[in-house]
Amino acid sequence: VGPVRAPLLSIKTELNIPLLLLTVVAMATRMWRLEYPNSVVFDEMHFGRFASMYIRKTFFFDVHPPLGKLIIAFGAYLGDFNGNFTWERIGADYPSAVPVWYLRLFPALFGSLLVPLTYQTTVELGYNHWTAALAGGMVLFENSLVTQSRFLLIDSFLLFFILATLLCLLKFWRLKHSPFSLSWWAWLAGTGAMLACACSVKYVGVFTVLLVGGMIFHELWNLIGDKRLSVVRAHDLTSHFLARAGLLAVLPVVLYLLLFHLHMELANRSGPHDEMMTSAFQATLEGGLSRITKSQPVSIAYGSQITLRHTHGMFLGRPCWLHSHLATYPVRYHDNRGSSAQQQVTCYSFKDINNWWIVKDPGRTTVYVDDPPKLIHHGDIIQLVHGTSSRALNSHNVAAPLSPYSQEVTCYIDYNISLPAQNLWRVELVDGADEGDTWKSIQSHIRLVHVNTSAALKVQREQNNFLVSKPVLIVFCTTVDQADVVGNDEETFNQATYEDTMDDQPLMGFLGMFAELQWKMLSTNKELQQEHKYSSSPGEWPLMERGVAYWLHPRTNAQIHFMGNPVVWWSGVVGILGYLALLGVLLVRRRRACFDMDDESWQRYILTGELVLGGWVLHYVPFFLMERTLFLHHYLPALVFKILLLAVMVENIHTHVLRWPVHRNVFSALCAVWVTCIYLSYRKFAPLTYGNSDLSADEVTDLKWLDSWDLLIQVL
Amino acid sequence: MGRGKQQNGPTKETAAPPNGRAQTGTKGRHQDGGKPEQLGLQTWGVFAAVVALTLGTRFYKLEEPDHICWDETHFGKMGSYYINRTFFFDVHPPLGKMLIGLAGHLTGYDGTFPFDKPGDKYGETKYIGMRSFCVCLGSTVVPLAFLTVWELTWSVPAAALAAALLLFDTGCLTLSQYILLDPIMLCFIMGAVFCQSKFDSLRNRPFSTCWWVWMCGAGCFIALAFSVKFVGLFIILWVGLKTVSDLWDLLGDLTLPLMVIFKHFLARALCLIVLPAAIYITCFAVHFHTLYKSGSGDGFMSSAFQSTLEGNKLYQANMPEDIAYGSTITLKNFRPAGGLLHSHWHLYPEGLGAQQQQITAYTHKDDNNLWIIKRYDRNPIPEDPLQFVQNGDLVRLEHVATQRNLHTHQEPAPITKRHFQVTGYGQNGTGDINDIWKVEVVGGAEKSRIKTVRSKVRFIHYMTGCALHSHSKTLPKWGWEQLEVTCNPFTRDKNNLWNVEDHINNQLPNGTFAVYQPSFLGKLLESHAVMVQGNSGLKAKEGEVTSQPWQWPLNYRGQRFSGVNATDYKIYLLGNPVIWWGNLALLAGTMLVFLVEAIRTQRGFVDPPHLAERKLVTLSAARWMATGWALHYLPFYFMGRVLYFHHYFPAMLFQSMLSAIMYDYFLQVVKHKVQPGVYRRIHQWGTAFISIILLHSFYLFHPLSYGMFGPLADNQTSPMYGLKWMESWEI
């Protein structure tokens, strides 16, 4: 009897039952009654609105990159959502036309997959399946992760991609003895792709880039130290460098750009956020400004009527235009400084008849456009006459209202002889101006330099609260080196017609638009500084001192409160401290030549520290330096790292610290009790996670384990 | 500057036999450097020249200008406070100002000059003594740099270069000539570095007398530096890092028994932790003891603290003890650095809650801090019988100056959105139901009376149940940068407590009563809380040119010490650009060398033994200097407070020493690569070139430090004509 031959075609499968079980339970916890509550929960208001915008192909501006919103929009598309819902306030009920289940499907799906990912990552780190199941279980029964996955939010995508990056990286390292094999390339490319996805969901992904970058740098440094590898030979050092650079730097950048391209293709119609962008950007959107500008003259000539928009100035999220009105500066300010009491010049955030100015030739008294028009070049001297009041833009050596060190800017006409007119301005084109360049509407960015004093026109960000009731920004003159570009004019009307209108060519290419959008996203992110009722500071996160109220039933105390499983959350801190303490002891003992761990375990312990503890630090500490409004959910990436470390520490203590079987058995029993506590605490806080049960005031108070948790109790 | 003598310097290494274990570098260096005794005389000759030149340049024109320059207005004033014994508040620890005061006292200054503003003439005031004291300490930096680099490398050219870089730097010169904290602190920092280097060279003779002396020296100097300015923390970190790395090396030496290592550890804990802490605390003890009279700083401190100051109202307090209805009181937030409850006519701006009158907390004493305590249900009438306020009573508080009531409602507070906004509301003392507060005395029995100063009181809002609260967050410009006052729904917060500080009631007899006196430790902790709050509250004044850390190493923009116009006597703090840009280039070079050396090591290249050992010594010294530079520079990027150019000078000391050490490194490498004759020529020419450049640049830029008249640099008649190498310099 010969040996049994293998069949011609066969599939060998292996079922990891615990893994499967974890995945199924995860799906169940994340997707159970997904449509409940049938109203807008917390930031669903924003992300839902963005999904509607995609569906309606409307341009919008958001501080987060597009991938997360694209996935949500895909869900909306699957559910045949027509985008007609206003997303006005938290708590508004969804009409039946909104496919809530589909909208919430993808966040829940990615959130469920986080559990098997955690399991697999723990295994790839080199720990056993008990540990992996423990890590997976903690992610599974972590109330905060459940809450964050069940709604129309993008954090579960972010967490998924971060962990997927980690998994790919570990798989890639597992193949370090067969470099340049097909699967080696595949996992390396996977790492790069997942990294790009993480960064394209939220910029927190940049911390993951730092983590992976640091680890890869470390790996390369070891490769340099490997003297068997030559620098010049093929498939050696240089190839290693190039492979990593290509797949971990170039590939993610390309993917990131592609996603933005997709974003701009999908949302290319004019919409409510147009005005945040420069005029050239707006002109590329369908409808909106491009309709107005198509027929208007390109070049500004003496006699043109224009509006001047500040290029970068944003006031409460809106742009502003150079503006004047009939009110004058008060004779004396609060601090007893005097003013010229001439007509105010401000920067106004709304389109208004008072934003119109006429470009006048100082040499002539008329304001007609000649035929052919006399165009304005870089360095030309002009006067700007305010359309409705016929006064000229003027500046002089009087302290500005809010900035006493700068010059006041006024509108002036020769009624008042106490101060001579100083109303000549030099036009300086900002971007790459040669002498011969003309001032073009929309495209040119100009700086207006006051001829008498060489000061330049600038807009102060601060709101003027005592001069007039309208929200305006104060304009003043300051030294040229501090001046910001004052603007590009947006609408031009020349009285004389001539054949110089805009053609259909878009004014900006994709890269230009991308650069502007990117710059605006990064600078706006910094501006979200206001404190929110439920905002918290990073110092409060590890011990979970405050949650976030997501939703409250209109009539009962049923509520959804974003907060974690306290048992997991607090024992995570112990895990971190435990790792550091054990590391310290082991290092000192190794220094004295006492080797407690075999070499392989030691390497694994160090790798865990670099990757997992390093990940926790990188995803947590930078928040201390951020000045924007922060919420507890910003801690979630760090939390996942913390959970991984905690599970791993349990195994390390079991195998390396405890020497006797009795101790190990006791420890295992304690762990079993602890795991039970995790489950029970998940159950206890489930009403706050799912918001499905009417709680009495006493029950809510009972859940308030810390005084600082702001659970809501309605007075009925 | 006596550089000719250095020619022989390098020959000392030529005979060096490769020697011993690398870690015990110093011993190796002694033998490697060969006969230091033979060189001794020449080294000391160079050193003497350095000292002479330093004193000459530093004391030259010390008395000019004879008016207040820049921050002399602060530190001179604070020196006077010590002489007058009046209490004041400052964000820096006391030692530097105490020393200035002492120097003034010893040289006959009587503390009467007001030090009002920069530019005021000193006239008859004896200010030279204080300046001399500062310049003496500031001058020590140069010889100490020489000795430190000598100790680290045993190379005369390197040591002389380090000294010369600091000696001919106009910035260091300017900064040491005036009554400032910086010369004092720079001196202590250099002292710590020098002692630490000395201590390191004695690694082979642990527990010898010298070893103890130098370690204690390092401990003293770090404590002194920290007691002058909190920037001294960075030198403490530097010494700490060096100590940890030292202990780690010892731990790895398996020939040493654990007991010995433990002794090493204990010795360091004693000299570098216990001793400095004792010195630091002693400084504060002297500070409190000296300043026993009431002065400008009273308002920053708690009522209990004020009661220790002679001349303060609370010193042997003489006012009615129990609060009654109709009493006029001030309320102090009961926390370190708490302010007095304050209001003024200005309103909250639009968009931040209701546009009602602002309520803030203010750390200065003025009449807008006065409040009248009234019954909750009606305004007082003259016929009212005297009735004491009791624990649990409902009251209203009326602001005396504006006659508005303390009020709160369910609008978010201007900064802390989760608290409620507190406003002044009503007219002539009549408001609405939201003006009612319940008084709760901490630990007080039911119906017990409220005591001036001694009762800790909570004001609970009757309608919303929140408690009157204040903390260290400052309001923006519309609120005059005073502290925010809110109503906190979490009533047990420790910042919700207030105490009555002043109490005026004509119907009640004044009585003296003992105010609880704080312990020394309490005073120490309280002054630190106040200093921390003051430091984080240092924001740029409007129109002030603020400085960014990236500008500093570039010498991008200096700082005006005196004079703006053509007719003024002008002094401008600016580094000698040749030195600063040279330092910067060498810093970049250092980083490159570190990188190349690291890669070479990783790839397994081995240098010939004598070069390898020499490199090890030099690069280790360079590494510690680079660490010192980074520690004194990078943290400024994370500081929220307003920054100035002179904050860079401690880092500049390390950078100059680093440059000198790297110069030595390049000499070593060149020497290894070329013939001895060529090397000697390179060395001579290099020395000559560097000397000429340094001297000439110092000659060019000396008017910045020694003062100049005349127009700005773009005018042909200006002494600085053609020297405005960067547009940003205000010269």
**In the 3-class helix/strand/coil scheme, how is A131-195 assigned residue by residue?**
HHHHHHHHHHCCHHHHHHHHCCCCHHHHHHHHHHHHHHHHHHHHCCCCCCCHHHHHHHHHHHHHH
Q: Which residues of B touch A625 (CB under 8 A)?
A: 638
B490 touches chain A (CB under 8 A): yes
Q: Are strands B405-412 and B420-425 parallel, antiparallel or unpaired?
A: antiparallel
Closest-CA distance, B600 to chain A, in angstroms, reads 9
Question: What CA–CA distance (Å, rounded) separates A54 from A282?
Answer: 17
Closest-CA distance, A336 to chain B, in angstroms, reads 15
The answer to whether position B53 is within a domain reads no
Is residue A311 domain-shared with residue A212, that is, in the same domain?
no
In chain B, residues 256-295 whose CB comes closer than 8 Å to chain A: 258
Closest-CA distance, B256 to chain A, in angstroms, reads 10
Closest-CA distance, B249 to chain A, in angstroms, reads 9
Is residue A476 domain-shared with residue A413, that is, in the same domain?
yes
A338 touches chain B (CB under 8 A): no
Question: What CA–CA distance (Å, rounded) separates B340 from B321?
Answer: 19
Q: Give the SS3 label for residue A334.
A: coil
Question: What CA–CA distance (Å, rounded) separates A295 from A272?
Answer: 23
Is residue B573 domain-shared with residue B503, that is, in the same domain?
no
Helix spans in A621-660 (H): 622-625, 636-652
Cβ neighbors of A288 (< 8 A, separation 6 or more) are: A269, A270, A271, A274, A282
The answer to whether position A271 is within a domain reads no
The answer to whether position A293 is within a domain reads no
Tell me which residue range forms the domain holding A46: 35-263+534-703
The answer to whether position A574 is within a domain reads yes
The answer to whether position B40 is within a domain reads no
Question: What CA–CA distance (Å, rounded) separates A535 from A417?
Answer: 56
Facing residues of B430 across strands?
B427
Q: Give residue A529's pLDDT.
A: 58
The answer to whether position B499 is within a domain reads yes
CA angle A329, A334, A339 (to 5 degrees): 30
Q: What is the CATH number of the domain that holds B491?
A: 2.80.10.50
Question: Which amino acid, B547?
Answer: S
Is residue A104 domain-shared with residue A156, that is, in the same domain?
yes
Is residue A109 domain-shared with residue A246, that is, in the same domain?
yes
Is residue A471 domain-shared with residue A380, that is, in the same domain?
yes
pLDDT, tens digit (0-9, with 9 covering 90-100), for A193-245: 999 999 999 999 999 999 999 999 999 999 888 888 877 776 688 889 999 99
Q: Give the SS3 label for residue A502.
A: coil
Q: What is the DSSP letter of A560?
A: E
Q: Residue ranges of chain B with pLDDT lower than 70?
A: 1-39, 513-515, 537-545
The answer to whether position B6 is within a domain reads no
B600 touches chain A (CB under 8 A): no
Q: Give residue A498's pLDDT.
A: 36
A225 touches chain B (CB under 8 A): yes
Q: Give the SS3 label for residue B186.
A: helix
| Residue B304: Cβ within 10 Å count | 20
A531 touches chain B (CB under 8 A): yes
Q: Which residues of B touch A588 (CB under 8 A)?
A: 251
A708/B490 CB distance under 8 A: yes
Q: Which residues of A touch B478 (CB under 8 A)?
A: 465
Closest-CA distance, B138 to chain A, in angstroms, reads 35
B716 touches chain A (CB under 8 A): no
**What is the percentage of chain A residues whose pLDDT exceeds 70?**
85
Closest-CA distance, A337 to chain B, in angstroms, reads 15
Question: What CA–CA distance (Å, rounded) separates A350 from A317?
Answer: 12
Question: What CA–CA distance (Å, rounded) separates A549 from A688?
Answer: 9
Residue at a domain's end among A493, A525, A553: A493
Interface test with B, best of A536, A590, A591, A709 (most B CBs within 10 A): A591
Q: Give the SS3 label for residue A659.
A: coil
Tell me which residue range forms the domain holding B448: 316-517
Question: Largest alpha-carbon pair distance within chain B?
Answer: 107
A533/B254 CB distance under 8 A: no
Q: Give residue A561's pLDDT.
A: 93
Q: Which residues of B touch A227 (CB under 8 A)?
A: 603-604
The answer to whether position B80 is within a domain reads no
Helix spans in B123-229 (H): 128-139, 141-153, 156-167, 170-176, 182-201, 209-228
Check if the beta carbon of residue A534 is closer than 8 Å to that of residue A549: yes
A224/B602 CB distance under 8 A: yes
A708 touches chain B (CB under 8 A): yes
Is residue B451 domain-shared with residue B572, that is, in the same domain?
no
The answer to whether position A474 is within a domain reads yes
Closest-CA distance, A606 to chain B, in angstroms, reads 19
Closest-CA distance, B110 to chain A, in angstroms, reads 37
Q: Which residues of B touch A224 (CB under 8 A)?
A: 599, 602-603
Rounded to 10 degrees, the C-alpha dihedral B724/B727/B728/B731 comes to 30
Higher per-residue pLDDT: A491 or B628? B628
Nearest residue to B91 (alpha-carbon basis) of B238, B229, B241: B229
Chain A, chain B: beta-carbon pairs less than 8 Å apart: 45
B412 touches chain A (CB under 8 A): yes
Residue at a domain's end among A493, A526, A559: A493
Minimal Cβ distance to A465: which of B251, B254, B349: B349
Minimal Cβ distance to A533: which of B350, B418, B603: B418
Q: Give residue B283's pLDDT.
A: 94
Is residue A423 domain-shared with residue A483, that is, in the same domain?
yes
A534 touches chain B (CB under 8 A): yes
Is residue B430 domain-shared with residue B343, that is, in the same domain?
yes
Q: Give residue A374's pLDDT.
A: 80
Question: Which amino acid, B362?
Answer: Y
Minimal Cβ distance to B251: which of A224, A588, A707: A588
Closest-CA distance, B481 to chain A, in angstroms, reads 15
Is residue A440 domain-shared with residue A579, that is, in the same domain?
no
B604/A227 CB distance under 8 A: yes
Interface test with B, best of A217, A232, A334, A465 (most B CBs within 10 A): A465
Is residue B402 domain-shared with residue B494, that is, in the same domain?
yes
Q: What is the CATH number of the domain that holds A391?
A: 2.80.10.50
The answer to whether position A658 is within a domain reads yes
Q: Give residue B23's pLDDT.
A: 39
Q: Would the pLDDT of A125 be above 90?
A: yes
User: Which DSSP string do the residues of A279-301 spell out, in sequence order?
Assistant: HHHHHTSBSTHHHHHTTSBSB-B
The answer to whether position A272 is within a domain reads no
A531/B416 CB distance under 8 A: yes
Is residue B576 domain-shared with residue B621, that is, in the same domain?
yes
Q: What is the 3-state secondary structure (H, E, C) of A194-246?
A: HHHHHHHHCCCHHHHHHHHHHHHHHHHHHHHHCCCCCCCCCCCHHHHHHHHHH
Is residue A74 domain-shared with residue A159, that is, in the same domain?
yes
Is residue A357 domain-shared with residue A460, that is, in the same domain?
yes
Number of domains, chain B: 2
pLDDT, tens digit (0-9, with 9 covering 90-100), for A27-77: 999 999 998 888 999 889 889 989 998 998 888 888 889 999 999 999 999
The answer to whether position B389 is within a domain reads yes
Closest-CA distance, A471 to chain B, in angstroms, reads 10
pLDDT, tens digit (0-9, with 9 covering 90-100), for B192-246: 999 999 999 998 899 999 999 999 999 999 999 999 999 999 999 999 999 999 9
Is residue A306 domain-shared with residue A253, that is, in the same domain?
no
Phi-psi region of A634 (alpha: psi -120 to 50; beta: other; left: phi over 0): alpha
A591/B248 CB distance under 8 A: yes
A228 touches chain B (CB under 8 A): no
The answer to whether position B362 is within a domain reads yes
Is residue B468 domain-shared with residue B578, that is, in the same domain?
no
* Mean pLDDT of the residues in chain A: 83
Question: What CA–CA distance (Å, rounded) separates A160 from A155?
Answer: 9
A531/B417 CB distance under 8 A: yes
The answer to whether position B244 is within a domain reads no
Q: What is the 3-state secondary structure (H, E, C) of A80-95?
A: CCCCCCCCCCCCCECC
**What is the percentage of chain A residues whose pLDDT exceeds 90?**
41
A265 confidence band (pLDDT: 50, 70, 90) = confident
Number of domains, chain A: 2
Is residue B493 domain-shared with residue B550, that is, in the same domain?
no
Nearest residue to B418 (alpha-carbon basis) of B373, B469, B461, B460: B469
Interface test with A, best of B260, B488, B548, B603 (most A CBs within 10 A): B603
Is residue B450 domain-shared with residue B598, that is, in the same domain?
no
Is residue A113 domain-shared with residue A163, that is, in the same domain?
yes
Q: Give residue A567's pLDDT.
A: 95
Check if the beta carbon of residue A79 is closer than 8 Å to that of residue A134: no
A530 touches chain B (CB under 8 A): yes
B491 touches chain A (CB under 8 A): no
The answer to whether position A708 is within a domain reads no
Is residue B506 domain-shared with residue B421, that is, in the same domain?
yes
Is residue A473 domain-shared with residue A553, that is, in the same domain?
no
Interface test with A, best of B245, B265, B348, B418 (most A CBs within 10 A): B418
CA angle A543, A547, A552 (to 5 degrees): 160
Is residue B433 domain-shared with residue B572, that is, in the same domain?
no
Range of lowest pLDDT (A333-347, A485-499, B137-151): A485-499
Q: Determine the average pLDDT of the residues in A620-640.
A: 90
A585 touches chain B (CB under 8 A): no
Q: Which residues of B touch A592 (CB under 8 A)?
A: 251, 254, 258
Q: Give residue A502's pLDDT.
A: 42
Closest-CA distance, A330 to chain B, in angstroms, reads 18
